[in-house]
Every structure is written in structure tokens, then in C-alpha cells.
Chain A
Amino acid sequence: MLAYLIRRAMQAAVAVLVMAVLVFLGVYAVGDPVDILISPEADLAEIEEARRRLGLDRPLIEQFGIFLANALRGDLGRSFVHNEPALRLILERLPATLELAVAAMAIAILLGIPLGMLAGLRHDRPSGKAIMAGSILGFSLPNFWQGLMLIMLFAVILGWLPAGGRGETVPLFGVEVSFLTLNGLQHLLLPAVNLAIFKTALVIRLTRAGTREVMLQDYVKFARAKGLSERRVVLVHMLKNILIPVVTVLGLEFGSVVAFAVVTETVFAWPGMGKLLIDSILNLDRPVVVAYLMLIVLVFILVNFLVDVLYTLLDPRVRLAERHG
């Protein structure tokens, strides 16, 4: 087990390093941040001076060396645009994104699983077919378009909900959250729904497939034959067995929601990490882009790692393979 853990940790370190090199080179190849950040009134001498101040006049290898040396000490550099530590800028935005992601996942689970089971149980009736047709729309309509339509309908035409922003926040354990105020909740609802639509469709399809499979299993037939109520058969015997694949997929999806809620955050002007990433890419704010993507790689590696560890705990075969391999 220990050897397995060490090997995984080494692989993770290599992946983070490769990512850092690729992103560093990629942003360097796109352009020079000074060309964008500097005032047009600046003359050639001032342009050179700005490049020197930001350390962009040095050879690429040297810039990367400095970055790497600092990164090993936990310093991922300072934003060219905001002159603040890149990591702090990202972590400041993390709560907003997490809040949005959790809300979206909650909606996806609370809507997706019941609807999916319904569609599975009534797969040959109009209600089941209608749910499936709806889930196809959820899959195929572009995310940003859905967002704009939600804004047009609920904010512009009906005027029920605000069109964007985060609204009022209150501190909870030192972190600003918006779901504890009415105003904050109103701001959270539309972006969370926008982000949840695709995930809901996914959960519906997974749950429906699971339901249809489980329905035909012997133990379900046996439970029915035993005279258990339909309610108990569905909510206890079937639901538990359907949940296993759904939970696995949702776990992975959660990572991607946190990392790439970019579209929703942009459409709803939600001050999360995704919006920071986009703004930073447009401004060639290399320290922030590199730090962000390294952080995300780390998150994904961590999630995968946890899943692997869970597998070794859950599935004896993985452990046996380790012992012999």
C-alpha cells in the first residue's frame, strides 16, 4: 500500500511539473503582457522599463527557473495585473465558485435522481418519454445560450430574479457566502440552475439506465413477490443499487464544475475563479494562469487519487493485484 501511495505521489508531481512547463511556454508564446498592460502614451524607454520591472526582459529559461525556485517554496508569483500573490487572488475567488458548484450539484441530484427513476419506471409512458426528451435538450443546448435565455426570461421579462452578480454575502467561518441571505439566494439561483442543467440531464440518463437494469434483477422480483410495498421496493432496494455509478460520476463531475464553470460565471458576472481565469488569459497575466492551472491539476490528481484509494478499500481485487504485482 505504501509503495502504491509513493508511486502515485511521484506521478502527481511529474504531472504538475509538465503542466507548469506547458502553460508557461504557452502563455509566453501568445504574446507579451506589457504590450497589453502598458499605457499607449508610454514611449519605448518606458516600455523597456516596464518589461524590466516585471522580469520579462530576462531569457525564458531564466524566467522559468525563477518561477520554479519560487514555486518550490510555495510562492507561485505575483499577478502582473493586480500586483498581488497569484495564489491569493485565486483562493479569494474559490468560495464563490465552490458555492455555485455545490448549489448546481445539489440541484442536479435533487432533480436528476427522482426524474431519472421516474423515467426508468415509466419508460414506455408519455411522462417517461417527456423526461428523456427534456434531458436531450439539457445536453444539447449550448450552456451560454441557456444562460442568456434564463436571464431574458426571469430577469428581463418577468423581473423576478437579478441578472447577475453575487449579491449580499455574509461571513461564515471567515468565508464570504451568499446562500444565507435572501438577496444572495436570489443571485445564486439562476447561475446555479444554468450550471445544473447539463449535470441534471446526465444524472437523469444514468439513473434511468440504472433503474431499467435493476428493475429486471431477481432480487427486485423477489422483493415484489415477498409482497413488499412498491414504495419500499423502489426507494430502498432499487435506489441503493442505482446510486453506486451515479455517485462515482458525480464525484468526477464536481471537479470539472469547480474548475471550468467559466461560461456560467462569465454570463452571470459571477465573481468566481473561472472568470478570473478568462480575464487573466485575455490580459496574459501569466502568473495567475499558471498558478490556476497547476492548482486545478493538483485538485484533479487529488480526486483521482482519493478514488483510487477508495477502490483499494472497496474492491478486494485491487488490493490483491497490488500484493502480487
Chain B
Amino acid sequence: MVTRNGWLALAAVGAMMAGAADAQTLRIGLSSEPSAIDPHYHNLGPNNAMRKHIFEGLIGQDENQRLKPELAVSWQALDDTTWEFRLREGVVFHDGSAFTAADVIWTLCRIPNVQDSPSSFTIYTRSIVAAEAKDPYTLILRTAKPHPLLPVEMSLIGIIPAPADAEDLAYDPEGCDYADWPSTEDFNSGKLAIGTGPYKLEEFVKGDRLVLVRNEDYWGEKAAWERVIFRPITSAAPRVAALLAGDVDLIDNPPVQDLPRLKADPDIEVVSGLSNRVIYLHFDHFQEPTPGVQGTGGKNPFKDRRVREAVSKAINRAAIVERIMGGLAVPASQLVPPGMFGYNPELQVEPYDPERAKELLAEAGYPEGFELVLGTPNDRYINDEKIAQAVAQMLTRIGIRTTVDASTKSVFFRRRNNYEFSFYMAGWGSGTGEASSPLRALVATQDKAKGFGGTNRGRYSNPELDRLLEQALSTVDDAKREALLQEAMAIAMRDYAILPLHYEMTSWAFRKGISYTPRMDQYTLATGVRPAP
């Protein structure tokens, strides 16, 4: 038995611990952990977010994913295939060496030479056919064809310092002439975790913590925190508990159902912001008969535009946002959210009109509807399975008797990629911050050589859209390109190629006394956390 005094003593120790939290240390609870510190190993959200603290790109992205100068002070297209980047002078890496164009060339050389990369960054570098340093602070990049996305792609790559024996390495798109490429393990151990960023890596203990310290020699505005400790707390309830207990100062992705409680807590604040992720429904436009449809005599009803329109009109997007997402989403009219490059302001959110939907079904020859299976992951997007259930009920109301087939993401994505669904729900976040990203991946005709249709698992195909998209992707003039993308978006939406449901909002919860600026790319960055004024 612990005596009364014993309890008091324990309480005193606890109080001391709580007070011991250093005002200059920021502790963040993360819902997903980066798989490596190596900035070129794994092209995925958690890694790219962590990369931004340690390794900077030539170009940065602000909270709204607009490009801003980082290691390059300016850039311009000299002609359709030649780009000039003026590099920032006086920048040093964490090891004290100076940053020059040679480091950029080294980085471009290294990216295709990462061993066993599960998701390579070569998708951002392969358009480059030549890279030359005109002088140490002027870099020329050439592409084979006009490639307007080059600046965006340069914002997605972290620059690492060239070793002494690679200062004069020449860029070769077929593979640079070098033997001893740095290994991912050396980055994780901290040996090569050397960038120019506002924070330096102190320690990376997988599964436990990742500690950053302020870079006192940073070229820009100094970081607000001396030390930042990231702790992976992948389960939602313990993450919220850690915040409530004062173990961490900020958490990402608090569960939607806990938000009212967190908001009511006088010591906790919550911010939410629109993300770049759209949740969509995709049809099978290709197979006949299609696997998840019954009662149509073997026909694939989704080849008929009227059926697709009926499905769209049957869905009450506002109700989903309000009742299932707790208001933390915005009904979607297209594949990118407002404000993003290529957003078409003329497109409207599909009005909810079940009567017209029934008429359309009858016109298409399905007055009695049909049976349908809707595939969805149940652990990938916010409330994904609940949304799918709601959609299924709404479709059943107009006569398309829908059942939901929900599975964990590893199973769902395999089945989807094997074309096992006639109708599935998924999400798309535009990493590049441009409408070309979802258009190229989700609705462009599958074409390995062009890199089109990578996630078009409904195999939609529309030559007119392909032509516009291809034209946009080779138009360097921003205004013209945006117009082309808007037109392509309108074609996809008016053909009901794919049905956007809503844009997710991302939330962060933190203790009173600090503030966080929400980011469209959903990244949790220590550089965005500030002591409240």
C-alpha cells in the first residue's frame, strides 16, 4: 500500500516533471514516421516533410504549395527547353562546406543511384538531359522537350553536398561516372545527414524519436526552436492522450470524432486547413462485363455517360461533408481545390438531384437499376469506410443496389490495381500543386511511354483530354498552360469520367501558447510552429 504521503510525493515528482519541459524545446507527436532520413530514398509524404527541415531544395513550396525561392534566388526559362537557376551565395551546409552548383549536379546524379528505393525520385529528374554549372552560382538545366514542370519538380528534391572527389562530376542522363554512391544507412545514422536546412539532425531512433537541433548558421530566418523532438505515435487515441498529458506540444491528424472535445479543452487549440487531397469515385470504363455489377445482362452500365451522371446526381456531397466529416471537408467540383494552379472556377459542385438521377437511369435503359459493389480502403483516408457506406445508401435510393467492399489499404490497392472493382473510392493529393498531377494520373489514357494514367484504374480514355493535357505539359508559358489545364479539367468533369466528392481538411491540435499554420500538402513542419505572440 502506498501511504497518503507516498501519493503526495508521487504527485510532487509528477508536477516537477511537467514543469521541466523546456520552453526552447518543441515536441511533436506524428501519426506516421519517415522510413529514412535519406532525402532521395522514399518519395512519400512523411519522408518529404522531414526532408524539408534538414535538406532544402532549389525551390521551396509555401503553405499553399506556391513556389518560393530557396537555394535558388531566381529561375527562368531561357527558351522552351533551357532553364537558368541563379543560386544563393554564402549558403553553407551543416558540415561547413559552401553550397554551389556542383552540389546540385551531384544530387541529380545521385538520385537514380539509390539502392533498393521503394519509390524513386527519378520521376522528377528524368526529363533533364543536361546540367551544367555556368559558374558556381549559375546552373543551366536542359530538357529534351519543353517541360514546364521543371521548377515544381526542383521543389521536390533535397540538395545534398558533393563529396570532394565529385566536385567536377559531369551530369549524364544515362548515369554519371561515379562508383561509391552514398548509402541510405549513412544518412539514417546521421553521418551524411548534412543539408543546408534550418535544422540539423541530432538523432534518429526508429520507432522512438527523431531529434533535430537548430542550425545556428542558417542563411534565412533562424528557427524558432532550439530542439525539436518528433515522436511517432501511430495510433490515434494514444496520440491525443499524449497531447492532453502534456507529453507533446503538437500532434497531427487528431481523429475527427475527438475534435469537439479537444476544442472544448481550454488548454488545447485546433487548427484545420484545406488540403490538396480530393476524395473521388472512379468507374470501370473498360471491362465488359465488369466484375462488380449484376443485373445488367452482362453490360457495363458505366460506359454510358447518363449512368455516370445519374450516380453523380444521386450523391449528396453536402450531407457527407456535414454529417460524416463533421464539417472538416469541402464539397468538390473537380480534382484540385480552389486556389491551386489549374483550378477551373466555372465548374460547379454537382447538385443533389435524385429525381433527375432516376430519370437518367431509365433513359439509359436501367429503370430497375442494378446491383453494384463499391470498393474502398478502410484505413487510408479520413472516415473512408463511412463515406463509402453513405454513398452506397444514396445510390440504393435511386435503384442502384450498392454494397460496400471495404478492406485494409494493402489489400484494397492490390485488388484495385488488378482491376477487381467496377466502382471504387480513393483519394489523390497533388504533390506538385498543379492540376496536371491528378489529370495525368487519374483520367489520362494509360500509356507507359508517356507516363500517363498511372492510377487510372478505371481505364478511362478520351483522346481530346489526352491531347489537351499533352499540350499543357509542353507549354512553358504559365497563363496558357493554366488555360489548357482548366479546359482539360472541364472535359473530364462534364464527361463524368470520375466523380470528385470532397477535399479533405487536415487538422493539427496543440497546446495553448504556440501556433501552427495549416499546410495544403498536409505536412507537419517544425518550421511552421511558432510561439504565440
Contacts and interface: CB of A to CB of B under 8 A. Distances in A.
A114 interface: no
Contacts of A48: 448
A267 B236 CA distance: 9
Interface in B1-57: 10-11, 13-15, 17-18, 35-36, 38, 41-44
A40 B238 contact: no
A164 interface: yes
Contacts of B41: 83
Interface stretch (A147-155, A213-221, A246-254): A147-155
Interface in B454-489: 454-455
Given A41-B431, A81-B35, A158 B14 contact: yes
Given A160-B10, A161-B14, A151 B241 contact: yes
Contacts of A82: 35-36, 188, 206
B379 to A, nearest CB: 8
Contact of B116 (A35, A42, A54, A269): A54
Nearest to B431: A41
Contacts of B449: 45
B431 A35 contact: no
Interface residues of B, number: 65
Contact of B245 (A36, A84, A155): A155
Given A53-B116, A267-B235, A35 B413 contact: yes
Q: Size class of A's contact patch?
A: 35 or more
Contact of A37 (B44, B207, B242): B44
A132 B213 CA distance: 52
Given A53-B116, A82-B206, A41 B247 contact: no
A35 B414 contact: yes
B376 to A, nearest CB: 15
B257 to A, nearest CB: 15
Contacts of B15: 159
B482 to A, nearest CB: 20
B428 interface: yes
B402 to A, nearest CB: 24
B527 interface: no
Nearest to B18: A159
Contacts of A276: 207
Q: Which 6 A-B pairs have the closest CB atoms?
A: A160-B14, A31-B414, A271-B208, A155-B245, A43-B451, A271-B207
Given A83-B118, A158-B11, 16 more contacts: A31-B414, A33-B118, A41-B431, A43-B452, A44-B446, A44-B451, A46-B454, A50-B119, A81-B35, A83-B36, A83-B115, A158-B14, A160-B11, A162-B245, A269-B242, A276-B207
Interface of B: 10-11, 13-15, 17-18, 35-36, 38, 41-44, 115-120, 122-123, 184-185, 188, 205-209, 231-235, 237-238, 241-242, 244-247, 408-411, 413-414, 417, 428-429, 431-432, 437, 440-441, 446, 448-449, 451-455
